[in-house]
Amino acid sequence: MSLLTKLTNNVRNCFNASRKVSEELPKGDKEIILSTYKILLEADPELFSKAWIMSASRSTSIRKSFNLIESNNIHIEVEFAKFSAVIERFFTRIICDEKLATELFETSCINLGKRHVDFVSFGFHSNYWDIFLNCMLDVIADTVVVAFANDAKQQHQVQKSWNKFVGRIVFLMQSGFKQRQLAEKTVDKKNNSNEFNENNF
């Protein structure tokens, strides 16, 4: 086993630690995310693209949703690959523009989750985010080892913060997704009840 492989495995073990994603992201973790985001992108400009393509490679359901047949050809599917740029812009906005201000950050993630209800009819399922989360953590783990190769302590700190950060994003998106689904079911139930009462008046 090479040193790089060993270091990367240690990073992944850290990422697999318990994630307190239901809790607000602590100030210290926010500061680490804000200060390391551009460093990670400089270490691997294709970070988001790799995670996005990896998620489809690992999931038959995701490939079907995007009409992708061969998992080995995903990287050349332009229409699919371009979505990684959308994901990167979202991360850049909440980190660089909104500075992870709690209300803005959480509202952005929740609203994004709510908007994904529109894609259910196209085959989207909220558990796709869990797959993408794991892929993001794998790619970030590799990138952290490269970006902070000479500082094991900093690697550990950065790894833990990004673990909580990405986990928090997915948690909030899933919350927004469920909120909208529940709200729409409540409205449908009320409308059906009113229709029943009118028909039996």
pLDDT (tens digit per residue) in 116-157: 999 888 888 888 999 999 999 999 999 999 999 989 999 999
Q: Residue 71's pLDDT is what?
A: 59
Dihedrals phi, psi of 22, to nearest 5 degrees: -80, -10
Task: Spell out the CATH class of 26-187.
Answer: mainly alpha
What digits encode the pLDDT tens for the residues 177-192?
999 999 998 876 666 6
| pLDDT of 26 over the 70 cut | yes
In this prediction, residue 75 has a pLDDT band, given cuts at 50, 70 and 90, of low
Percent of all residues in the chain with a pLDDT value above 90, rounded to a whole number: 59
pTM value?
Answer: 0.80
Whole-angstrom distance, CA of residue 157 vs CA of residue 186: 43
Whole-angstrom distance, CA of residue 69 vs CA of residue 100: 38
More confident residue, 196 or 79: 79
CA angle (73, 84, 170) in 5-degree steps: 115
